[in-house]
Amino acid sequence: MSNGIYTEMIEKSPRIDKLYDALFQAKPEVVADRAVLLTESYKQTEDLPMITRRALAFAHILENIPITIRDNELVVGSTCLKSRSCQLFPEFSFQWILDELDTMGTRSADPFYVSEETKEKIREVCKYWKGKTTSEFATSLMGKETLLAIEHNIFTTGNYFYNGVGHVTVAYGKVLEVGFEGIAKEAAEELVKCKVSDADYVTKSAFLKAVIICCDAACKYAERYSALATEMAQNCNDPIRKQELLTIAQNCKRVPRKGATSFYEACQSFWFVQMLIQTESNGHSVSPGRFDQYMNPYFKADLDKGAITREFGQELVDCLWIKLNDMNKIRDAASAEGFAGYSLFQNLIAGGQDSQGLDATNDMSYMCINATMHVLLPQPSFSVRVWNKSPHEFLIRAAELTRTGVGLPAYYNDEVIIPALVNRGLTLEDARDYNIIGCVEPQKAGKTDGWHDAAFFNMCRPLELVFSNGVDKGVQISKKTGDVAEMSTFEQFYDAYKTQTSYMIELMVNADNAIDVAHAQRCPLPFLSGMIDNCIEKGKSAQEGGAVYNFTGPQGFGVANMADSLYAVKQLVFDQKKITMAELKEALDNNYGYGMDDDKAQQLTVGIMAGLKERGIEITEKLIAEVYNNIKGQNTGKYQHILDLINQVPKFGNDNDDVDSFARDVAYTYTRPLETYKNPRGGVYQAGLYPVSANVPLGKQTGATPDGRLAYTPVADGVSPSAGKDINGPTASANSVSKLDHYIASNGTLFNMKFHPSALKGRAGLESFVSLIRGYFDQKGSHVQFNVVSKETLKDAQANPDKYRGLVVRVAGYSALFTTLSKSLQDDIINRTEQGGF
Amino acid sequence: MENYLDQKGRVFNVQKFSIHDGPGIRTIIFLKGCFLRCKWCCNPESQSHEIQQMTVGGVTKTVGEDVTVREMIEKILKDRIYYRRSGGGVTLSGGEMLYQPEFSSALLRACKENGISTAVESTACASFDKIEKCLPYIDYYLMDIKHFNSDKHKQFTGQPNELILENARKIAKSDVELIIRVPVIPTFNDTVEEITDIAKFAKTLDGVKELHLLPYHAFGSDKYKGLGRKYLMEDIVAPASEKMEQLKSAVENCGLKCQIGG
């Protein structure tokens, strides 16, 4: 207990283990039910407004899609008959589905089984969608320079190009309070106010009617579960389960139609909202947000009445955590690598302050920690908000969770995020009430259409364009910023980088805005929009600009690589004059002499030839062969001296003020130009600095960089220092990262740290860990998450020490950097881990 | 010395984010040079004051660097925010900080003037005037007492223990918080009797409430080879945890709080 709040662990019910086991009994599978029903409906509504068609299709799906109640479930509602299976959404894109139908089951990242029968249905359905998807429409809206830049992997907008947008937190609390009947009533009242002669009557009335259709469909869908539960109860011989089913039947009859009258009903109502949003559209990162805030009042009321025990309350929360892992989504093969791990990024956050600026940590905040410890599953993406008045015990409990190695929670800093959001135009009250979407993106729930994951922008690629004078694989895809070898000052070089970056940002904005318009016109979402202010009042969907706050947040990554690269160029080429730009360019073109595969060598040769031709040099077969062999060749050691020089230059991540302030400035080359643009929903662009897991696949498309990074290896993740470059321990690394401007990257920054469980050993370990987080946040870092590493990682660290130079382990009476320890000691620590325990 | 910040000293390592040597998050400064030659020493490179070359894992590095207090305090201040959040600070370790009393005193003073908490890990095997120079700037004195029998002490560490015990009494009378630490070394002091002797003595010291037992480990053995020296404790195995628990009880029976590990 602390301040009357119950902070203790509550025991896990055996039911949760059974539900957990059931979750993994079947392989993830693609099913066609939704796609078939959607297409049926669309074929019958071709002469209606799009918003109406969307609502009718939603209703048709909910009326007919197969439903099930799984064994042992207390909270019901599943998108598919089998756990972790997924529906398809051909209205966004289908070509990749057809192309990959036979490889989905066997691909390396996130495979999904597809039955022959399903394949047949999908092929049939897709015939209808040719020319009708958001992706095809978006392509037609993009400029040709933009399409070229995408083709050349400068940035990727694949996420919303292929899929729904998601990335939203609706007003869950409102549904819990008034039910969908209440929302429909609100729409109906607005409709009464409309006059047929109003300029926007046609669109507004169509939208409001669509909202009413969707609300009604959701209520009826729940009633199907009520009927199913009643039927199952009749056939059930186990008296306990029978009673459970009858209660489920009762719950689903009442919610989400009406407001919840108990915590159990609130859980069921929450779940229908969560799963139905993901039935209307397949956007991921549909984030429950401040679950502890909108759920706790129902729990406390029941507790005060003596209507619930803490144990049963916890069991219900645990059931929801399992349900959040029951849903799934298939992505195209390339995107699956960027979002690896079947993740839906349903971010759920606990703690922090309320809209009045008072600490809001409550019983439910701790129950969220308990639930995550009970299930140890990736969903929800569990986060905690930290501010100067966060209860110490809350952070200690969170640190205990971190210590399990599950990689959760992520920690967010109110002291940075609130002013950053105010700077973007949120009211102070709304900013204080923020939650996190997806990975790290802050916003105000129920009022925002944030487009938080709008693109990945690879900050390394514009630098490649500086070295190639705007040419990529032989094609002039960007501006000519001049021959690098001719540049006489660092400022000239840096300006060229800024020019290339700014130009590519312009094209990325064009791509995002095209996709934005495509969604508004082809896939407005009336069900979702009914739960976002002020869609009903404005009479338009969130996709058409109905939300109070509208943003587009494409994220840049590779800050550390660019900081280290530009700093190395400044030091070695311009200040110390140890190498010439021509020498550096040659070393980069040849991947520092480390060779590469045939395809890459060929691509690069083409690029270099085009560059030479441009300069009037005659291209001969002999020259081509020479360059090709040179590039492809094995490590000759020819460029090793350059690599050695680069390695001696200080790197970001070591609390070196010179390099760190440089990194701050480099981040601005992305964040500053971006914030000048506007989106079609009437909002502005804001930058994020995080890569999800795209730093690996997109690194594969990036040549060698002047920080000594070899071609096609991963780019640095988030705002973290490049792997293995931060060699002065966690405090130095955190200090460096905190020197970036986290306020301006208001779409979120991501800082990964690695720890060995032993560093968190005992109460003292937890205390130090919490102090480290507090210290980083005192210095205005925005987010941090921790990988508490396993023995496998330690073995890898032993084999590849350069990759793990920042890894902290506890040794005997002290902690140390793992890679600085002797082999025998490393073995000892690895073996110790093998024996388990902390 | 005109300005104490210009005082020079010789250190061989600065370990940041150290969380098990004194309270909170600490930066540990390892000083070069020691009066003792403990056979089990896990930092053999700390013993000689001379700058040395050591080869571990095929990599040869220079051990020891001359630095000013000013340079050290700059490094130390980079983590001040973490000291404040955790109740941590700086720990001088070694080697032996009393081997370089002018430097240690100046560095500790600089810490205090910047509001940073200080701890020292010391054997106190030096004339008391050297200790006195440092005492005003020390918050936690983590003092090693390795054996109560002076002959055995000399046999394993190269020095008798009379001066150490006498200094312990004097330090105990000062304002610093004194904590006694005993490395538990099989074949040297790992019997209940030997540990009890030390604990009984510790109990007589004013204000001492805690004694830490540090189990022997062989983690320094590679470094002996790296310095071209022979490791004399090769056959020794770390004490079992049951053994440590038994010794802990012995300490507690003397009326002291006891913890295993630093």
Q: Does domain B4-260 have CATH number 3.20.20.70?
A: yes
CA distance A414 to A408: 18
Element spanning B258, H or E: strand B257-260
Task: Name which of A334, A332, A379, A342 is nearest A163 in CA terms.
Answer: A332
Within-domain flag for A51: yes
CB A697 within 8 A of CB A339: no
Q: Tokens 């089990």: give the residue.
A: B40
Flag whether pLDDT at A614 surpasses 80.
no
Within-domain flag for A325: yes
| Contact check, Cβ <8 Å, A732/B78 | yes
* A768, A811, A831: best to mutate for the B interface, most B CBs within 10 A: A768
- Tell me the pLDDT tens digit for each residue of A359-401: 999 999 999 999 999 998 889 999 999 999 999 999 999 999 9
CA distance A132 to A522: 8
Is B20 part of the contact surface with chain A (CB cutoff 8 Å)?
yes
What's the pLDDT score for residue A838?
A: 26
Task: Name which of A64, A125, A118, A63 is nearest A91 in CA terms.
Answer: A125
State how far residue A455 is from chain B, nearest Cα, in angstroms: 36
Helix axes A263-280, A310-324, angle to 10 degrees: 10
Q: How many CB pairs below 8 Å do chains A and B form together?
A: 85
Flag whether pLDDT at A635 surpasses 80.
no
Average model confidence (pLDDT) across chain B:
94
- Tell me the pLDDT tens digit for each residue of A471-525: 998 899 999 999 999 999 999 999 999 999 999 999 999 999 999 999 999 999 9
- Tell me the pLDDT tens digit for each residue of A652-677: 999 999 999 999 999 999 999 999 99
CA distance A250 to A226: 7
What's the pLDDT score for residue A250?
A: 98
Flag whether pLDDT at A813 surpasses 50.
no
Structurally, chain A folds into a number of domains equal to 2
Within-domain flag for A118: no
- Tell me the pLDDT tens digit for each residue of A728-753: 888 999 999 999 999 999 999 888 88
Q: Which of A396, A426, A449 is the last residue of a domain?
A: A449
Looking at the predicted complex, does its ipTM rise above 0.85? yes
Flag whether pLDDT at A342 surpasses 80.
no
- Tell me the pLDDT tens digit for each residue of B113-127: 999 999 999 999 999
Cβ atoms within 10 A of the Cβ of A636, count? 12
Across the interface, of B20, B78, B222, the residue whose CB is closest to A814 is B20
Average of pLDDT values for A441-461?
A: 96
Say which CATH number the domain at A417 has.
3.20.70.20
- Tell me the pLDDT tens digit for each residue of B80-113: 999 999 999 999 998 999 999 999 999 999 999 9
State how far residue B129 is from chain A, nearest Cα, in angstroms: 30
What's the pLDDT score for residue B141?
A: 96
Flag whether pLDDT at B57 surpasses 90.
no
Q: Which of A388, A416, A449 is the last residue of a domain?
A: A449
* A814, A817, A825, A832: best to mutate for the B interface, most B CBs within 10 A: A814
State how far residue A762 is from chain B, nearest Cα, in angstroms: 11
* CB-neighbour burial class of residue A139 (10 A; exposed 0-12, middle 13-18, buried 19+): middle
Average model confidence (pLDDT) across chain A:
92
* CB-neighbour burial class of residue B258 (10 A; exposed 0-12, middle 13-18, buried 19+): buried
> Taking the CA of residue B34 as centre, how many other CA atoms within 13 Å lie in the half-sphere pointing to its CB?
25
Within-domain flag for A195: yes
Element spanning A332, H or E: none
What's the pLDDT score for residue A835?
A: 35
Task: Name which of A464, A468, A437 is nearest A453 in CA terms.
Answer: A437
- The domain of A828 spans 751-834
Q: How confident is the model at residue A697 (pLDDT cuts 50, 70, 90)?
A: confident
Return the higher-pLDDT residue of A418 and A403. A418
In degrees and rounded to multiples of 5, residue A381 shows phi and psi of: -70, 100
CB A334 within 8 A of CB A697: yes
Within-domain flag for A656: no
Across the interface, of A813, A822, A828, the residue whose CB is closest to B57 is A822
- Residue A543 tokens read as 């996709």
Specify the DSSP class assigned to residue A2: B
